[in-house]
Structure 1
Amino acid sequence: MRLVFAGTPEVALPSLRALLESDRHEVAAVVTRPDAPSGRGRRVERSPVAALADEHGIEVLTPVKAGDPAFLARLRELRPDLCPVVAYGALLPESALAIPTHGWVNLHFSVLPAWRGAAPVQAAVRHGDDITGATTFRIVKALDAGPVFGVLTERVRERDTAGELLARLAESGAKLLLSTVDGIADGSLRAVEQPEEGVSYAPKVAVDDARLDFGTPAAALDRVARAVTPDPGAWAEFRGERLKLGPVLPVEEGHDLAPGEIKVERKRVLVGTATEPVALGEVQAQGKKRMPATDWARGARVEAGERIS
């Protein structure tokens, strides 16, 4: 089957590699987001998907919008049978959806119809889901609402960050996507409409959404911190400046700390919440490197009664 693969970040690479290694399909081109500034130096860099395509000598298409006439014309010239999609990062207009013979098939990192949208893994961690997974479905105009080809499930581990969970789903999801493409190619797979019940949405997580509220219970604070690790990263304010925080750990033994109040011990740094305190993990002050919380507290000379907000 002749494929044009659409994807942008590193999480899409396992799927692209699986398709490239298959002897049943040809990846004729990839579609990815345009080169963008990255890192402290703001150097313009290729997306991970574009870089992998370059290594394999595959044509790379980088439309600003997927409805650009020049892009649509080139896609028609490529005559793809199917366009697999993993984390492409842009909306696909109906003019693009109509070109491949078998449409566009998306690998989405949730068990649909739960957590439609841009941040399903973050939502699963934030809301304390026990089980999540991945789904392959045909893309339609409505957001993540197309008929389903296949599903896998994955247990959310107690200390999973969104990054760790997504990495596992990217690997297992690549196998699901390949089997879906195989099934479409040989005609053995048919899509089934999603149920109307159980729909939930997971919009993109903004930086403001990653601010930790120490006035909430420790369990909720823990989930939020893990849900935004590594991106966009948890944070709070200390002495009027932003403090980046790694995942925190609820502490069971009793400590009488007000929400946000800091207690520095020899081997850990505790912060009060609405329930039990949490122990800070890694901390990064403005202009500093990430470091263990105890090292940060010693360097900052945290005084008794000071708070994080």
Structure 2
Amino acid sequence: MRLVFAGTPAVALPSLRAVAARHDVAAVITREDAPIGRKRVLTPSPVAAEAERLGFPVIKANRLGDEVTEAVAALEADLGVIVAYGGLVREPLLSSPRLGWVNLHFSLLPRWRGAAPVQRAVIAGDAETGAAVFQLVPALDAGDVFAELRRPVGADETAGELLEDLAESGASLLADTVDALAAGTATARPQEGEPTVAPKLSIEDARLDLARPADEVYARLRGVTPEPGAYALLDGERFKIAEARRADDADRVASGHVVLDGTRVLLGTGTSPLELLVVQPAGKRAMAAADWWRGAGGTAVLA
């Protein structure tokens, strides 16, 4: 089939490659170049860079308005495919391709509709998650589902690791669905169950409440890793925790207090402590927790 593909971050790359290997990609839509790094250099999105490498026409837009709608209509595409573009597809663009649009979403719909499904699933302590390919409709992530895959959430898995895995397995699911649509054999079912929403994470979502039980603190830490990155406050400044693990075998440590237990740097929560592995104090680079602890003079309380 003749496709239009929309996506922006690296997580969309496996899907772009998978559908491009089997079908004709008439154009790729992605968000405009964005300032990256300390020098704020304007940089193409990962999808833009890959599309240009593959030789596909690229449409850069932060809003899918009239200009994009006219450009897509001129392509006479059979199907639109969208993976993590970062914007809403509304009418008349929604109906512009002959078969409309399908979306690869990284959750078991209708659970976690929205921008951050993987992160919210990890924060909530979900034991299982997955990916779904569904028909795009005006309501947020509410269309009928063509296919889904399920997998457990690892006890120590971060949102970044989980999303990377789902991007690969979801790409195959998406490509198979597009094949079925091309063959006329695809069928979709309505979503069943009570929807939950997954809004984009804010910096406040990344702050750890160290008075909460260890399983909740650890789930939030994993859910906001690598972005926006877990933190607590140390002397009123943001203290990032890049890597940690459960230390259920250790003695109780007062909430927020950091102590040395043999060679382990432990952080107290409302129940058992966490072992700090990699941290980043304000204004410094990430470092091993033991190195930071030595420099801190053996005393610290996080809030």
TM-score category by the smaller chain? over 0.9
Q: Is the contact made by 1:212 and 1:236 (CA closer than 8 Å) also made in structure 2?
A: yes
Preserved CA contact (<8 Å) 1:263 1:269: yes
Indicate the residue corresponding to 1:80 in structure 2.
77
Q: Does 1:100 align with 2:94?
A: no
SS of residue in 2 equivalent to 1:5: strand
Preserved CA contact (<8 Å) 2:62 2:87: no
For the Cα contact (< 8 Å) 1:262–1:307, is it kept in 2? yes
Given candidates 225, 237, 244, the residue that maps to 2:240 is 244
Match of 2:147, SS?
strand
Q: Is the 8 A contact 1:222 1:247 kept in 2?
A: no
1:264 CA drift (Å): 2.3
Decide which of 104, 112, 116 is 1:115's aligned counterpart. 112
Question: Is residue 267–residue 275 contact of structure 2 (8 Å, CA) maintained in 1?
Answer: yes
Corresponding residue for residue 27 of structure 1: 25
Question: SS of the counterpart of 2:92?
Answer: helix
Counterparts of 1:103 and 1:166, CA distance in 2: 26
1:256 CA drift (Å): 4.0
SS of residue matched to 1:177 = helix
Contact 2:243 2:279 in 1 (8 A): no
Structure 2: gaps (5+ residues): none
Q: What's the C-alpha RMSD, in Å, of the aligned pairs?
A: 1.2
Matched-pair contact (CA < 8 Å) for 2:252–2:271: no
- Determine the C-alpha separation between the residues in 1 that align with 2:62 and 2:166: 28
Deviations 1:134-163 (A, max 9, x none): 000011011100011101111111110000
Q: So what's the TM-score if we normalise by structure 1?
A: 0.95
Deviation at 1:175, TM superposition (A): 0.2
SS in 2 for 1:248: strand
Give the Cα–Cα distance (whole angstroms) in 1 for the partners of residues 121 and 43 of structure 2: 31
Secondary structure of 1:257's counterpart equals coil
Gaps of 5+ in 1: none
Query: Alpha-carbon deviation of 1:64?
Result: 2.9
Cα distance change on mapping 1:166 and 1:111 into 2, 3 Å: same
Distance 2:107 2:181 in 1: 21
Distance in 2 of aligned mates of 1:166 and 1:143: 20
Pick from 147, 150, 154: which aligns with 2:144?
147
Partners of 2:170 and 2:4 in 1: CA distance = 18
Identify the residue that residue 56 of structure 2 maps to in structure 1. Answer: 58
Deviates more, 1:156-165 or 1:281-290: 281-290
Q: How many residues align?
A: 303
Deviation at residue 165 of structure 1 after TM alignment: 0.5
Map Cα deviations across residues 24-69 of structure 1 (whole Å, 9 max, x no partner).
x1001100111110122211100000000110121111123102x2
TM-score (ref. length: structure 2): 0.97
Aligned-residue identity in percent: 50
Query: Residue 102 of structure 1 aligns to which amino acid in structure 2?
Result: L
CA distance in 2, matches of 1:143, 1:281: 39
